[in-house]
Chain A
């Protein structure tokens, strides 16, 4: 897919015109924040940042790139964790100026938001309309709709409400040749041919630029309760999850954190371990429902779980401040690791029943390969998605650890695949998992994916280093 090394300055001028006044910059100081991501794992480069404000401008930009075989990297809120949004010399197209909420309809339960709208704004808009947008994740204050769709983001409410894919009713996207996929439908049922929007969801920007989407809203729960439980083992977590769901039918989130993760978060962030005792595992459970008796049922279910020995201790938030404190600890699991040096991170999923087996096997592998490494295991127990992060041993040179990381990651992923799991549960492939993905994925799958890529993007201009 020979892409020219240098871009004709006349073409650059046409791109600037297409983006309009205020829609581009070549000032590297202004571009810099778009070239680094928060974990500082990649630093990119680009000659030009384009920030279209309208779909029409985005179409004009991609049409020029298509005609001139110019490679493009697309970026939303720059919160991706696999490097897909960081350009390496390509033109960078950011959706940051496409920030309109075009409509909100509480009868259709649908909200049309442009790609650059930050997730919390969609959540707030739905709340204003008396509804709820049921996707929540740690980066929701920065992550944008376009990026959430392109990465099929997950988060903490997946078991009950599904991933981003489940929230998308329709998509408007600019295809790589500049033509428009106009699909802002709010239909729940539409069996007319291939469901093309599903290809764009999770495509990591390789098939086109998502410019807007119709998102579904759900009814707002009248009752919410947040509990924190202290556990001895992951087996207890899995048993507890099912016991609480059976007893209440209202488990919206069930997150776990191991001791090391809690300790690092408490040491390095303003979070607090809510228990007086140092439990090996904490489980954060959020219940949601609409009947007045739910709170009492939750209390009974938690009490019964304690009596059955499925948890050692349990706290129930008495107000929103306490609920937020529980969630804050969970959300600081990544930030807590940052000052501790280099880390090898895994975003794996296994069948829920195999979580304990995965943790035991992965821990054994890590202890063998890097004795003294600090394992921070946390995440979405309710859907089998564990963020299994290995922080370097204290006192080790970060580079020495980084040298060991590839073998470590390979071994942890071998454990995952051996348990019928996935090596990328919710973060995607991007750049960081690309080689491994291509090596592990069956050739027939890869062939189909490449055929789809060629059908959408014959010149291979969209996010060319990403995914395939």
Chain B
């Protein structure tokens, strides 16, 4: 079975994000970019499924600028077999991404799409669900465990108040949550091997998808600065302060 794993290049999780002075977006100049952590978990899971014999080929696809090839190479170094870059400098919204992925799915005919539940830049948590709807496939989101048997997958989901286990018919879209696995480190021999694996270069036009934004960003602002705390002498004073602040 072939697995398709979409990966996104985003600002590194550890970078302190700064808003541009003109409030049109965040500052990306000289900022470290890496694979979205949830995508990394999806890649790791796909590699593990192949190691268990549940999958035979892993194709990673990224939609983004030329540098997104580095993100694909990281996935290839972790064990994916080949990559597809749909190159665009446009900031593609979840619906555009889902439409492009649908086109890739139609061309590649994977047995499942395994992807991150959300990207940490937009935090939309929408693409996997939109893709499943567009394809008419079952979806199993927020996976913390995946078992594939025959033509179905058993997926444990992290939901409010506990865990829910679903059985979905394949093909399906499965989105990875944080506790699904701990991604492996890329070894140097595998990084070198990844440089020789093929990456197919495409554009949105190749798939006939219009990725023009449907949303207009009015303004991007920093969250309010946290104000310093104060120490209180005892519980009575604390209650007084809370009443003063009108929260109790």
Where the two chains meet, the residues of A that have a C-beta atom closer than 8 Å to any C-beta of B are 222, 227-228, 272, 274, 299, 302-303, 306, 313-322, 324
CA distance A228 to B186 in the complex (A): 10
Are A316 and B188 in contact, CB atoms less than 8 angstroms apart? yes
Are A319 and B188 in contact, CB atoms less than 8 angstroms apart? no
Are B185 and A274 in contact, CB atoms less than 8 angstroms apart? yes
Are B185 and A317 in contact, CB atoms less than 8 angstroms apart? yes
Q: A222-B30, A303-B192 are in contact. Are A320 and B15 (CB under 8 A)?
A: yes
Give the distance to chain A from B157, nearest Cβ to Cβ, in Å: 24
Contact with A along B143-167 (1 / 0, CB 8 A): 0000000000000000000000000
12 A-B residue pairs with Cβ-Cβ distance under 8 Å, sorted by A, are A222-B30, A227-B188, A272-B182, A303-B189, A306-B189, A314-B187, A314-B189, A316-B186, A319-B14, A319-B37, A320-B13, A321-B13
Are B14 and A299 in contact, CB atoms less than 8 angstroms apart? no
CB neighbours of B40 from chain A (8 A): 319
CA distance A353 to B72 in the complex (A): 41
* Chain A interface, >50% SS class: mixed
How many A-B residue pairs have C-beta atoms within 8 angstroms? Tell me: 55
The answer to the question of B125 belonging to the interface, with a C-beta cut-off of 8 Å to chain A, is no
Are A320 and B32 in contact, CB atoms less than 8 angstroms apart? yes
CA distance A222 to B29 in the complex (A): 11
CA distance A324 to B37 in the complex (A): 14
- Enumerate B35-78 residues with CB–CB distance to A below 8 Å: 35, 37, 40, 74, 77
The answer to the question of B191 belonging to the interface, with a C-beta cut-off of 8 Å to chain A, is yes
The answer to the question of B34 belonging to the interface, with a C-beta cut-off of 8 Å to chain A, is yes
Are A319 and B191 in contact, CB atoms less than 8 angstroms apart? no
The answer to the question of B81 belonging to the interface, with a C-beta cut-off of 8 Å to chain A, is no
CB neighbours of A299 from chain B (8 A): 188, 191-192
Q: A222-B30, A299-B191 are in contact. Are A319 and B35 (CB under 8 A)?
A: yes
Are B77 and A319 in contact, CB atoms less than 8 angstroms apart? no
Q: A320-B13, A321-B14 are in contact. Are A306 and B32 (CB under 8 A)?
A: no
CA distance A227 to B37 in the complex (A): 19
Are A315 and B188 in contact, CB atoms less than 8 angstroms apart? yes
Give the distance to chain B from A357, nearest Cβ to Cβ, in Å: 29
Q: Choose from B34, B189, B191 the contact partner of A320 (Cβ within 8 Å).
A: B34
CA distance A316 to B77 in the complex (A): 10
CA distance A306 to B40 in the complex (A): 26
Give the distance to chain A from B17, nearest Cβ to Cβ, in Å: 13
A299-B188, A306-B188, A315-B186 are known; give 15 further A-B pairs, CB within 8 A: A228-B185, A299-B191, A303-B188, A303-B192, A313-B188, A314-B189, A315-B185, A316-B186, A317-B185, A319-B13, A319-B37, A320-B12, A320-B13, A320-B15, A321-B14
Q: A222-B30, A324-B14 are in contact. Are A318 and B186 (CB under 8 A)?
A: yes
From B13, which residue of chain A is reached at the shortest CB distance? A321
From B71, which residue of chain A is reached at the shortest CB distance? A318
Are B191 and A321 in contact, CB atoms less than 8 angstroms apart? no
Contact with A along B192-203 (1 / 0, CB 8 A): 100000000000
CB neighbours of A302 from chain B (8 A): 188
Are A318 and B34 in contact, CB atoms less than 8 angstroms apart? yes
Are A322 and B185 in contact, CB atoms less than 8 angstroms apart? yes
CA distance A321 to B14 in the complex (A): 7
* Chain B interface, >50% SS class: mixed
Give the distance to chain B from A98, nearest Cβ to Cβ, in Å: 20
CB neighbours of B14 from chain A (8 A): 319-321, 324
CB neighbours of B189 from chain A (8 A): 303, 306, 314
9 A-B pairs with the lowest CB-CB distances in the bound complex, closest first: A319-B34, A320-B14, A314-B188, A315-B185, A318-B74, A320-B12, A274-B185, A302-B188, A318-B186
CB neighbours of A318 from chain B (8 A): 34-35, 74, 77, 185-186
Q: Choose from B15, B37, B187 the contact partner of A315 (Cβ within 8 Å).
A: B187
CA distance A306 to B188 in the complex (A): 9
From A229, which residue of chain B is reached at the shortest CB distance? B188
CA distance A299 to B187 in the complex (A): 10
CA distance A315 to B14 in the complex (A): 20
Are B30 and A316 in contact, CB atoms less than 8 angstroms apart? no
From A319, which residue of chain B is reached at the shortest CB distance? B34
CA distance A345 to B82 in the complex (A): 50
Give the distance to chain B from A47, nearest Cβ to Cβ, in Å: 26
CB neighbours of A227 from chain B (8 A): 188
CB neighbours of A317 from chain B (8 A): 185
Are A319 and B12 in contact, CB atoms less than 8 angstroms apart? yes
CB neighbours of B191 from chain A (8 A): 299, 316
Give the distance to chain B from A224, nearest Cβ to Cβ, in Å: 8
CB neighbours of A222 from chain B (8 A): 30
- Enumerate B1-36 residues with CB–CB distance to A below 8 Å: 12-15, 30, 32, 34-35
Give the distance to chain B from A124, nearest Cβ to Cβ, in Å: 10
CB neighbours of B182 from chain A (8 A): 272
Give the distance to chain A from B198, nearest Cβ to Cβ, in Å: 19
CB neighbours of B74 from chain A (8 A): 318
Give the distance to chain B from A298, nearest Cβ to Cβ, in Å: 10
CB neighbours of A313 from chain B (8 A): 187-188
CA distance A223 to B223 in the complex (A): 29
Give the distance to chain B from A82, nearest Cβ to Cβ, in Å: 33
CB neighbours of A315 from chain B (8 A): 185-188
CB neighbours of A272 from chain B (8 A): 182
CA distance A224 to B202 in the complex (A): 30
CB neighbours of B32 from chain A (8 A): 319-320
CB neighbours of B12 from chain A (8 A): 319-321
Give the distance to chain B from A454, nearest Cβ to Cβ, in Å: 46
From A223, which residue of chain B is reached at the shortest CB distance? B32
CA distance A321 to B186 in the complex (A): 13
From B182, which residue of chain A is reached at the shortest CB distance? A272
Residue from the set A222, A303, A321 with the largest chain B CB neighbour count within 10 Å: A321
From B189, which residue of chain A is reached at the shortest CB distance? A306
CB neighbours of B35 from chain A (8 A): 318-319
CA distance A272 to B32 in the complex (A): 24
Residue from the set B12, B32, B182, B185 with the largest chain A CB neighbour count within 10 Å: B185
Give the distance to chain A from B45, nearest Cβ to Cβ, in Å: 16
CB neighbours of A316 from chain B (8 A): 185-186, 188, 191
From A222, which residue of chain B is reached at the shortest CB distance? B30
CA distance A314 to B192 in the complex (A): 11
CA distance A279 to B32 in the complex (A): 31
CB neighbours of A274 from chain B (8 A): 185
Give the distance to chain A from B128, nearest Cβ to Cβ, in Å: 22
